[in-house]
């Protein structure tokens, strides 16, 4: 019998039905991007209210599409961490209610491990052990993954996440929200070498990265540097925006790919798993492909539809079910990152 999975950690309300062989019978995602657009980022209170309005229709659609009722399910899975507390609570409350009413076991799923598990949905079960990268709106994390549930954090950004940097750069260039896709689109018409930008911490042998300084460098190149106000800045016209977008994207990709090489060396794993919203970026996918070809490592990037938040990736719950590790009905959300 399949499981019903719920994801509401940030600003996507999502539900999916996943069979024991990990085939996705339905995956419904309702994004709130339009609600947050004018703020240039996710507003937590707006997000939780929107989850409340959307969760029941999204659940109904996922179950209708898969052609299942409560009686056809074996468990209810839900993302309990990390994320926005008000957002997580909506999904977890819905999951507990359904589990209680239908008499089904509850499974708690980690959002970041689920981002990596999205790769399993496309590449099959032999992708573990692996080295993992989650590159998303809130995280830029490297993992050593002996198996799908016991991955260990081995490095991360010391400030902004990669997706956050894309969103902030988009905002300062006047490009629409969410920033990742619009920076990628603008970059297509730009020259990645037009604007010299730093690759912070890239040449350090450890797994720390920083995107805050890169973002500031883009700001100064676009709008002028307050420390040298006399230096001329080219007008921020369409061509300049494209060059800045392309140059930023190239710098971000260089840093991420460079650190993936460090992570592969450090873990010695034969496979690289990549998940999270920024994994949808075409330049990053090309950079990672080149790296993995050169190092003779198998590259498994999450399929495009499972990069940004979705509930299909919470099919990770099957691994937890198979270990018999169910969650109690009074389990709580853990908004912050749990370093396990």
Footprint of ligand ATP on 119-138 (CB under 6 A): 136-138
CA dihedral over 241, 244, 248, 249, signed as positive or negative = positive
For the chain, where are the alpha helices, taking DSSP H only? 33-36, 44-66, 85-102, 111-123, 162-172, 179-187, 212-223, 238-267, 282-295, 317-322
Residue 309 binds Fe ion (CB under 5 A): yes
Residue 136 binds Fe ion (CB under 5 A): yes
CA distance 180 to 276: 12
Residue of 160, 167, 243, 319 that binds ligand ATP (CB under 6 A): 167
Residue of 132, 258, 277, 287 that binds ligand ATP (CB under 6 A): 277
Residue 163 contact among Fe ion, ligand ATP, Mg ion, none, beta carbon within 5 to 8 Å by kind: ligand ATP
Residue 144 annotated as lining a ligand binding site = no
CA distance 218 to 34: 26
Footprint of Mg ion on 4-33 (CB under 5 A): 10-12
Closest contact distance (angstroms) between CB of 304 and ligand ATP is 9
Residue number with CB closer to Fe ion (109 or 320): 109
User: Considering only CA atoms, which of 122, 235, 115 is closest in space to residue 163?
Assistant: 115
Residue number with CB closer to ligand ATP (184 or 267): 184
Closest contact distance (angstroms) between CB of 313 and Mg ion is 13
Residue 309 annotated as lining a ligand binding site = yes
User: Considering only CA atoms, which of 145, 237, 118, 138 is closest in space to residue 189?
Assistant: 237
Beta carbons of 109 and 314 less than 8 angstroms apart: yes
CA distance 191 to 229: 25
Write out the residues near Fe ion by the rule CB under 5 A. 136, 309
Write out the residues near ligand ATP by the rule CB under 6 A. 9-10, 83, 111, 115, 136-139, 163-164, 166-167, 178-181, 184, 276-278, 280-281, 308-309
């Amino acid at each position: 019998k399949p499981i019903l999975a719920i994801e509401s950690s940030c600003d996507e309300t999502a539900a999916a039905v996943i069979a024991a062989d990990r085939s996705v019978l339905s995956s419904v995602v309702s994004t709130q991007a339009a609600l947050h657009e004018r703020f240039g980022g996710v507003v937590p209170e707006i997000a939780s209210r929107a989850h409340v309005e959307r969760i029941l229709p999204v659940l109904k659609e996922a179950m209708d599409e898969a052609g299942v009722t409560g009686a056809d399910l074996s468990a209810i899975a839900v993302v309990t961490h990390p994320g926005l507390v008000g957002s997580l609570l909506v999904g977890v409350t819905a999951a507990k209610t359904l589990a209680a009413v239908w008499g089904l076991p509850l499974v708690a799923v980690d959002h970041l491990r689920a981002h990596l598990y999205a790769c399993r949905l496309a590449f099959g079960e032999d992708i573990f052990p692996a080295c993992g990268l989650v590159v998303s709106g809130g995280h830029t994390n490297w993992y050593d993954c002996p198996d799908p549930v016991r991955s260990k954090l081995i490095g991360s950004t010391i400030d902004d996440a990669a997706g956050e940097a894309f969103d902030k750069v988009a905002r300062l260039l006047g490009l629409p929200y969410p920033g990742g896709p619009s920076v990628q689109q603008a970059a297509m018409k730009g020259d990645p070498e037009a604007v010299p930008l730093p690759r912070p911490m890239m040449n350090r042998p450890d797994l720390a990265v920083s995107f805050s300084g890169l973002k500031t460098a883009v700001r100064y190149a676009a709008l002028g540097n307050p420390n040298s106000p006399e230096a001329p800045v080219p007008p921020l016209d369409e061509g300049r925006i494209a060059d800045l977008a392309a140059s930023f994207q190239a710098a971000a990709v260089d840093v991420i790919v460079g650190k993936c090489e460090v992570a592969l060396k450090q873990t010695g794993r034969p496979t690289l798993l990549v998940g999270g919203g920024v994994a949808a970026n075409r330049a990053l996918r090309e950079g990672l492909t080149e790296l993995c070809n050169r190092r003779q490592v198998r590259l498994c990037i999450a399929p495009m539809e499972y990069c940004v938040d979705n509930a299909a990736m919470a099919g990770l719950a099957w691994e937890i079910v198979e270990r018999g590790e169910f969650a109690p009905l009074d389990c709580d959300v853990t908004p912050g990152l749990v370093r396990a």
